[in-house]
Amino acid sequence: MATLSVHTSPLDQPGAGDAGGMNVYIVEVSRRLAARGIAVDVFTRATSSDLPPVVEMSPGVTVRHVSAGPFEGLGKEELPAQLCAFTAAVLREEAQHEPGYYDVVHSHYWLSGQVGYLARDRWSVPLVHTAHTLAKVKNEALAAGDRPEPRARVIGEEQVVGEADRLIANTDEEARQLVRLYGADPARTLVVPPGVDLDRFTPGSRGAARRTVGVPDDAVVLLFVGRIQPLKAPDVLLGTAARMVADDPALRARLQVHVVGAPSGTGLDAPRQLEQLAATLGIAELVRFHPPQPPDRLADFYRAADVTVVPSHNESFGLVALESQACGTPVVAAAVGGLPTAVRDGVSGVLVDGHDAADYAAAVRAVLARRELLAAGARRHAARFSWDRTADALVEAYVAAAGEMAAAPPRPARERRGGALRALPGTSVAR
């Protein structure tokens, strides 16, 4: 199958630039599809001349770097002008093989969807699309100082929604948004929740984790993980910490706020803004900034924390919340988007309406008062989600969409239909 990820590579480190939950999603799903015998080619834009054209990410998963526009210095908002070049490279790759080489196209984010629906028509195979974020939803919940998504993206998303054979939503709420805001066909809109690596993100010794990341045993630790941009609202966490020490001055001696991530998106307009805010709030000595971390190291940060705070203005799901809970660390999160699915209010953490620091401070105190109970609930809740379940549901969607296309009247383009998913040598795909 062909997986399209135009603007960010699954090989990129999540937490900086445009790399985030979508990167994790593509990596984890691709590996599990390959384990089920489905060969996966991931097409992504090359961002350096040093990148090899082809990289085997893992057995059965190949990342193909496509030259489309300058390697560096090209923002996501400039990529629509490069979609023609990207699409041409994808079509050329398929043309080197016998017809029917790719049986399904799975596009991620609207830019990839634009490429995907052209490939769908050229190859006569189904297009499965995951939006990950939606412009109309983001524009309804803009953070202060953030820029609205452009009209061109809205139009592009509408086109992809109209063309896709299956739309994959992370949650019931996202499925409703696709139908309400984009006129998606409910019969073609499926809810397939993302998962979490329950072997990597697992409870462990908090003391050992704190020694690893350099946190005192008696510290009260609040954690933020993600790209530093207005959408993710890390400023709310700093305001929360300031409010907590204002309410309880003795807490200042023990409170630590750890921010794991790097500026991204509109956050690049003022990359030191969060540090300046900490100084303005009088808590600069309480805040520790860390670059994006590899998964195993990130798990130590989750285990070391008392509470992970996810105050985003919008999240299609919220993988950070799920990873934290899998490590046994409860979450305080905004009650927006997919977070009410990722966090079970009162069981694995606390959901907060709005973005008032006083409300978050109260929620954090409530979690600290019941931390052991919520930690157990967090792990139980996270165990309901796994990438294996996600992959199984996607395979069902691929097979159903391919079956529908095979039964449909022939198209005038290339006279072939999507059929069984291409298997790795020596394997087969269950139907």
Task: Output the known binding site.
Answer: 7, 13-14, 18-23, 76, 109, 133, 153, 227, 232, 293, 302-303, 305, 315, 323, 329
Tokens standing for residue 240: 């929360």
How many C-beta atoms lie closer than 10 Å to residue 246's C-beta?
16
Q: How many CA atoms lie within 13 A of 411 on its CB side?
A: 14
| Residue 67 CA neighbour count, 13 Å, CB half | 7
Residue 315 tokens read as: 């999240």
Binding-site residue numbers for Mg(2+) are 302-303, 305, 329
Strands of the sheet containing 105-108, edge to edge, are 54-58, 61-66, 40-45, 2-5, 105-108, 127-130, 166-169, 189-191
Binding-site residue positions for UDP-N-acetyl-alpha-D-glucosamine: 13-14, 21, 227, 232, 293, 315, 323
Q: What is d(CA 317, CA 272) in angstroms, rounded to the nearest whole number?
A: 27
The structure tokens listed for 157 are: 């998303």
Residue 33's SS3 state is helix
Query: How far lies 406's CA from each of 163, 341, 424, in Å?
Result: 17, 35, 22
- For residue 230, give the amino acid letter: P
String of DSSP letters for 389-403:
HHHHHHHHHHHHHHH
- Going by the DSSP 8-state scheme, the letter that residue 91 receives in this structure is H
Let me know: does 256 contact 221? Beta carbons within 8 Å.
yes
Could you identify the residue written with the tokens 């020596």? 426
Binding residue positions for 1D-myo-inositol 3-phosphate: 7, 18-23, 76, 109, 133, 153
Question: Which residues are 106's β-sheet partners?
Answer: 3, 128
Measured N-to-C along each axis, helices 371-382 and 319-326 cross at an angle, to the nearest 10 degrees, of 110
